């Protein structure tokens, strides 16, 4: 008995030693920059703030880490932007929230803390949120990038294909080997739409250039992303871009090999490619989420299927890298103006897929609601769409 107790004790000690070895690391970590609001009227520092109940408690769930310089960070920045404009809101957030059961308990916990507006930003948080919206009719749920709608459940998202087209224009101008690499999660509809928009942009300035795609079959397997990036570069690709959760590994690996890269998800990706960055697009949904929160506060919220693009401020383009020539920058900006003015529509027919089948006939346009069903790749993309 005594021996067993001693054994247990030694395990605890062993663990503590191991933990304490990393202790200094954990304590001196850099402060994560969370946008805080400076009150417009200066408050004397001696005054004790009187606790006033918040005008709205917002709960937000993220599927990954809010410092991934990618999708989750972009969503978190958008949610925190609400606080910058509407000071009286209180935000509760949880990162690394798993799918299904995990998401349900996290959101229930937020509701029990008084949250009446939930931003479920994980792709797989849609159905847990939808189920909860039926049992909590007094709580409003907003999901990112889904398709379901309900009385107190709506969907919001940016509209990335336009940005992908512009990135294609830049890539088509920058490549000299006419081989562009694309690391994607898996051949699901939106990845295929992005690939198609990108290659259409490439072809508009460089009909000989092809986009080579490899799939990692995961949103966040960074070692596989590095392998896929290296494989594409080893094949002769001299521009690399990606559609996985975090751009860090792909962009960083391309940089370490001296190859151009284009980011996606979050504009923060640029810091990982100080030399060979071309540009990138990311979600900047702060303004729209602030508007949604304000309609919840004044009681005018209605469920709308919200999709917004660059001209609405929901998507933005990162600054160009230092190796991008002025004429390329000018061309991209000119196309951007055309897209925003509506004179350039990316998916205008005729669009032909890899097998030669006409997918969008001449004179027609692929509409946003049909993009969720895309299962083909345009000519010029090398890789399988299934």
Identify the residue whose tokens are 């990393």: 22
Cβ-count burial of 165 within 10 angstroms (0-12 exposed, 13-18 middle, 19+ buried)?
buried
Nearer to other proteins, 10 or 84 (CB): 10
Nearer to other proteins, 71 or 347 (CB): 71
Distance CA 137, CA 344 (A): 42
Least distance in angstroms from the C-beta of 22 to other proteins: 5
Nearer to other proteins, 84 or 235 (CB): 235
Nearest to 308 by CA among 333, 285, 279: 285
Nearer to other proteins, 67 or 124 (CB): 67
Least distance in angstroms from the C-beta of 185 to other proteins: 10
Contact in structure between 386 and 213 (CB atoms under 8 Å): no
Nearer to other proteins, 322 or 386 (CB): 386
Contact in structure between 166 and 332 (CB atoms under 8 Å): yes
Distance CA 32, CA 81 (A): 15
* Tokens coding 163: 């940005």
Helix, coil or strand: residue 108: helix
Least distance in angstroms from the C-beta of 17 to other proteins: 8
Least distance in angstroms from the C-beta of 212 to other proteins: 4
Distance CA 288, CA 277 (A): 28
Nearest to 74 by CA among 135, 156, 12: 156
* Tokens coding 271: 């810091």
Distance CA 185, CA 302 (A): 34
Nearer to other proteins, 144 or 213 (CB): 213
Nearer to other proteins, 54 or 98 (CB): 98
Least distance in angstroms from the C-beta of 186 to other proteins: 7
Least distance in angstroms from the C-beta of 384 to other proteins: 6
Q: How many Cβ atoms from other residues are within 10 Å of residue 277's Cβ?
A: 25
Least distance in angstroms from the C-beta of 13 to other proteins: 10
Least distance in angstroms from the C-beta of 247 to other proteins: 10
Distance CA 154, CA 146 (A): 9
Contact in structure between 76 and 110 (CB atoms under 8 Å): no
Which residues share a beta bridge with 92? 59
Question: Which spans of this chain sit near other proteins (rule: CB under 8 A)?
Answer: 7, 10-11, 14-15, 17-19, 21-22, 24-26, 28-30, 32, 65, 67-69, 73, 96, 181, 186-187, 212-215, 217-218, 220-228, 230-236, 246, 248-249, 252-253, 256-258, 268, 271-272, 382-384, 386
Nearer to other proteins, 24 or 39 (CB): 24
């Amino acid at each position: 008995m005594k021996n067993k107790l001693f054994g247990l004790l030694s395990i605890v000690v062993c663990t503590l030693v191991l933990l304490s070895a990393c202790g200094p690391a954990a304590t001196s970590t850099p402060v994560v920059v969370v946008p805080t609001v400076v009150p417009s009227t200066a408050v004397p520092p001696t005054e004790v703030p009187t606790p006033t109940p918040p005008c709205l408690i917002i709960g937000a769930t993220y599927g990954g880490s809010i410092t991934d310089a990618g999708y989750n960070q972009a969503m978190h920045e958008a949610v925190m932007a609400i606080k910058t404009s509407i000071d009286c809101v209180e935000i509760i957030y949880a990162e690394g929230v798993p799918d299904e059961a995990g998401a349900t308990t996290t959101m229930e916990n937020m509701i029990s803390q008084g949250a009446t507006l939930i931003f479920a930003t994980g792709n797989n948080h849609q159905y847990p949120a939808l189920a909860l919206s039926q049992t909590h009719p007094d709580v409003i749920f907003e999901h990112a990038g889904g398709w379901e709608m309900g009385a107190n459940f709506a969907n919001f998202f940016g509209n990335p294909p336009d940005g992908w087209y512009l990135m294609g224009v830049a890539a088509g101008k920058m490549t000299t080997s006419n081989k562009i690499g694309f690391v994607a999660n898996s051949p699901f509809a939106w990845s295929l739409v992005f690939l198609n928009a990108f290659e259409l942009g490439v072809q508009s300035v460089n009909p000989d250039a092809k986009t080579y795609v490899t799939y990692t079959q995961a949103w966040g397997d960074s070692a596989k992303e590095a392998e896929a990036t290296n494989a594409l570069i080893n094949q002769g690709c001299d521009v690399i871009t990606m559609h996985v959760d975090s751009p860090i590994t792909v962009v960083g690996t391309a940089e370490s090999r001296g190859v151009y890269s284009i980011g996606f998800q979050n504009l923060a990706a640029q810091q990982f490619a100080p030399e060979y960055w071309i540009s990138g697009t990311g979600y900047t949904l702060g303004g729209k989420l602030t508007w949604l929160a304000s309609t919840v506060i004044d009681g005018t919220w209605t469920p709308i299927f919200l999709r917004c693009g660059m001209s609405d401020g929901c998507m933005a383009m990162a600054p160009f890298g230092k190796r991008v020539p002025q004429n390329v920058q000018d061309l991209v900006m000119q196309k951007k103006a055309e897209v925003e003015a509506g004179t350039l529509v990316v998916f205008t027919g005729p669009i032909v897929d890899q097998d030669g089948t006409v997918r969008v006939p001449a004179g027609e346009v692929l509409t946003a609601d049909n993009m969720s069903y895309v299962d083909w790749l345009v000519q010029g993309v090398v890789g399988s769409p299934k």
